[in-house]
Chains A and B, each alone.
Chain A
């Protein structure tokens, strides 16, 4: 019994490599991300677009209480996929880092620096005894030196920069859609449309505006802003992605 539990320890201990060099707990955390509804990030010439699927489990639930889009600082937004509670911890960490940078250097934090501060923090949870990795992936989008930047964090603490990507459920299929249809020179509205269409390409049901969250950080104002339901509705109308019942109304 003792022998067996020793042998399998790498399956449970976060700080223990498997014989073939894998960290199973980190891989399990990635599975947790896949169970969360999808979030999509698109970098356009005019700024960064974040779109999240806020699928409601019940019509009694308040859509506003689904936290998948977060303002980290005036010029940075974060979309999450996976464990909401874990995401909240990382978002708060990111918000504090942004303010520490402002206090320390008197200037807004770079999107890349912020991402790497967050991923360094995530990494510590893959190398510290007694810890559990974060079961969440983040899309960190914002403006740095007048340029739109979009980064991904994963449970291992690896930062990657993307032109467009998805995390969460159906990541692979959404990613394929983005790869076929992404255009670097697109404007912000085209970026929003691309993300909504990508999300629709994997959804069985049609959307309701309250079931989708859209946020942008545009190059001109360098401000994070979330679109209200009416504006989301307008995009969905235009793309003809709306629930049929809504159209009859």
Chain B
């Protein structure tokens, strides 16, 4: 609470749209950047199963989908004991977003003695996305808590939408095509991983911004397990 000792009393009221730890980064993103989010290469998929949540992401970083700048990118990161977030859009924005959310989730748990619910994490992520300069991002948040298994899409303007399955990134139409045929309620995690990997594979085959393999994150009450696979055959 005490940032300094200059004898002033802290209002004690945290701004809901700002991190308690550190400050919002500043930059000069324009509305054009906002529109470009969907043009940035990437395919990230999140789906809820009967046992937890599965997230799948491709492994390509590209410059506008024209040049492959990295072939081994992990686009899903753990941000909480039982939640993970995907990186979509501006890499700097997404990394900074993840660091902030991770710090907030840790602080919340340390202060209150119980982990942040996934709904709280999604609300906070939405507030940050809307209020901050992270906005050139379009991540998926997946997590498990006492209430159940959750998948949220956090859009660049701060929209927070819960769903059973969702896809973001330039390969989304292709990946959705697979999910619309194959997703159903009550999947096991193994089935979920196969379907998620298949949907990313379809996107990788036809979307030039996505490629080079798949990272799969399996989220259960036990935690988050993230593994990379250069070869889709390992998981399909």
Whether, in the assembled complex, B14 has its beta carbon less than 8 Å from a beta carbon of chain A, the answer is: yes
Whether, in the assembled complex, B12 has its beta carbon less than 8 Å from a beta carbon of chain A, the answer is: yes
Whether, in the assembled complex, A121 has its beta carbon less than 8 Å from a beta carbon of chain B, the answer is: yes
Give which listed residue, A113, A130, A131, contacts B112 with CB less than 8 A. Answer: A113
B143 to chain A, nearest CB (A): 14
Segment with Cβ contacts to B, from A25-33, A77-85, A102-110: A102-110
A16 to chain B, nearest CB (A): 14
In the complex, which residues of chain B have a beta carbon less than 8 angstroms from the beta carbon of A129? 7
In the complex, which residues of chain A have a beta carbon less than 8 angstroms from the beta carbon of B124? 104-105
In the complex, which residues of chain B have a beta carbon less than 8 angstroms from the beta carbon of A100? 13-14, 16
In the complex, which residues of chain B have a beta carbon less than 8 angstroms from the beta carbon of A125? 9
Asked if residues B1 and A120 are in contact (CB atoms below 8 Å), the reply is: yes
CA distance A116 to B127 in the complex (A): 24
0 or 1 for each of B1-22: is its CB under 8 Å from A? (1 = yes): 1100001111011101000000
Interface residues of B, Cβ cutoff 8 Å to A: 1-2, 7-10, 12-14, 16, 108, 111-112, 116-117, 119-120, 122-124, 127
CA distance A100 to B20 in the complex (A): 13
Whether, in the assembled complex, A203 has its beta carbon less than 8 Å from a beta carbon of chain B, the answer is: no
CA distance A229 to B199 in the complex (A): 65
With both beta carbons as reference points, the residue of chain B lying nearest to A123 in the complex is identified as: B1
With both beta carbons as reference points, the residue of chain B lying nearest to A124 in the complex is identified as: B9
0 or 1 for each of A73-108: is its CB under 8 Å from B? (1 = yes): 000000000000000000001001100100111110
CA distance A107 to B123 in the complex (A): 9
In the complex, which residues of chain A have a beta carbon less than 8 angstroms from the beta carbon of B14? 100, 104
User: With A93-B12, A106-B120, A107-B117 in contact, do A112 and B127 touch (Cβ < 8 Å)?
Assistant: no
In the complex, which residues of chain B have a beta carbon less than 8 angstroms from the beta carbon of A223? none
In the complex, which residues of chain A have a beta carbon less than 8 angstroms from the beta carbon of B2? 124
In the complex, which residues of chain B have a beta carbon less than 8 angstroms from the beta carbon of A116? 111
A109 to chain B, nearest CB (A): 10
A29 to chain B, nearest CB (A): 16
Whether, in the assembled complex, A117 has its beta carbon less than 8 Å from a beta carbon of chain B, the answer is: yes
Asked if residues B9 and A131 are in contact (CB atoms below 8 Å), the reply is: yes
B53 to chain A, nearest CB (A): 19
User: With A100-B14, A120-B1, A120-B12 in contact, do A106 and B123 touch (Cβ < 8 Å)?
Assistant: yes
User: With A100-B16, A105-B124 in contact, do A124 and B10 touch (Cβ < 8 Å)?
Assistant: yes
With both beta carbons as reference points, the residue of chain B lying nearest to A93 in the complex is identified as: B12
Whether, in the assembled complex, A201 has its beta carbon less than 8 Å from a beta carbon of chain B, the answer is: no
Asked if residues A105 and B116 are in contact (CB atoms below 8 Å), the reply is: yes
In the complex, which residues of chain A have a beta carbon less than 8 angstroms from the beta carbon of B12? 93, 97, 117, 120-121, 124
In the complex, which residues of chain A have a beta carbon less than 8 angstroms from the beta carbon of B112? 110, 112-113
Asked if residues B8 and A128 are in contact (CB atoms below 8 Å), the reply is: yes
In the complex, which residues of chain B have a beta carbon less than 8 angstroms from the beta carbon of A117? 12
In the complex, which residues of chain B have a beta carbon less than 8 angstroms from the beta carbon of A103? 16, 127
- Which 7 pairs, one residue from A and one from B, show the smallest C-beta to C-beta distance? A106-B123, A105-B120, A103-B16, A104-B16, A129-B7, A124-B9, A121-B12
Give which listed residue, A104, A124, A131, contacts B123 with CB less than 8 A. Answer: A104
New A-B pairs, 7, CB < 8 Å, besides A104-B16, A113-B111: A96-B13, A97-B12, A106-B122, A107-B123, A117-B12, A120-B12, A121-B12
